[in-house]
Amino acid sequence: MKIREIRAMRGPNYWSVRREKLIVMVLDLEEMEEKPTDKCPGFLDRLKDMFPTMYSHRCSEGCPGGFFMRVEEGTWMGHVIEHIALEIQTLAGMDTGFGRTRGYGEKGVYSVVFSYIEENAGRYAARAAVNICQALIDGRDYDLEPDLQEMRELREAERLGPSTGSIVEEAASRGIPWIRLNKYSLCQLGYGANQKRIQATVTSETSSIGVELACDKEDTKYLLEQAEIEVPRGDIISRERSLKETCEHIGYPLVIKPIDGNHGRGISVDIRSYEDAVKAFHAAKEVSRRVIVENYIRGEDYRLLVINNTFVAAALRSPAHVIGDGKSTITELVAEVNKDPRRGFGHEKELTAITINDLTKTIITDAGYTEDSVLAEGEKLILKDTANLST
């Protein structure tokens, strides 16, 4: 089988006026034109073993298991590839289900059409589906996980952020049209005189001065201080030679972070020695030219949501952690926590899967453990030093 062409539809099109995001793959079945599924011994069993969740594909039969019925009766491989492309996207966290396979006008050549959520992931699914189908025909083992992970990463690289995505979903549910204006999170809601633009929680109604101030921790702290709002004592430095004096002046424990960073990047907390302060300083410098050093204050971490100047919700944010059971290693406890169906890769679900990265390893070491250590029953071990959605 050979792929001739892969195109992406991004609006009303020949295949559908309602489903605007479609991949159209021109596929030459070559010798497989003479070998539909009922003439490939064991094909259906191998397909069921690899994709038991395909039982939900109703296909033209209109009932659960309908697609498997079609495969048993005999259908062409282009039709199978269409369903595989849809299923692997769903397994990678992009639930989608529209497909069509039609003759291209040449013997053995078909237009394989299926919906996508993120374009590059959809293009990848087209190529992967052909490879998977060929492996099923040949009776070869095929490891799906690398393809699924690649599509997850493509999805995370392209998808709208969680804030923008939530707003766009709500707009769509109200019948408000929207378009993406760049490869990041800048979107337009509505058209003409009614249009509004958003990027995460910043809108075309947002004060630019407000944004500038909120993005600069130095200015934010100064204005809060002037308003008699209590803020941590601290200082801003840009050179390592100023670090020791600043640490001694403020006093340990400390927080060191970039002055204009986000997503928790470059932040170190509960620093209790100059050696650790130097490491934290360099981590912050990778994100920002200037670094803020301030008191470490213990307490709860809340994220507040304000709409139209009215407080509407609060979330208590807890850093990623595990709780010992007296028999499992830290690595095993992390694996158990990650089984929570609410956890996923990137921002695909409410919670993010916990990763053991260099920062986590440092925290584990500082606590006097290794990844293979067994925590006492009920003991809580914090694994990240921030509690935002990304970690």
- pLDDT for the residue 259: 85
Ranges of residues in the chain with a pLDDT under 70 are 261-263, 389-391
- pLDDT for the residue 336: 93
- pLDDT for the residue 292: 92
Residue type, 124: Y
Measured CA to CA, the distance from residue 361 to residue 323 in angstroms comes to: 17
- pLDDT for the residue 217: 78
For the chain, give every residue range classified as CATH 3.30.1490.20: 229-295
pLDDT tens per residue, range 355-382: 888 888 988 998 899 999 999 999 999 9
- pLDDT for the residue 390: 67
Kindly report the pTM of this predicted structure. 0.67
Measure the CA angle with vertex 281, ends 280 and 284; round to 5°: 85
- pLDDT for the residue 343: 87
What are 194's two structure tokens?
Answer: 């009614």
- pLDDT for the residue 73: 95
CATH number of 229-295: 3.30.1490.20
- pLDDT for the residue 263: 67
- Nearest alpha carbon to residue 321 among 331, 334, 332: 334
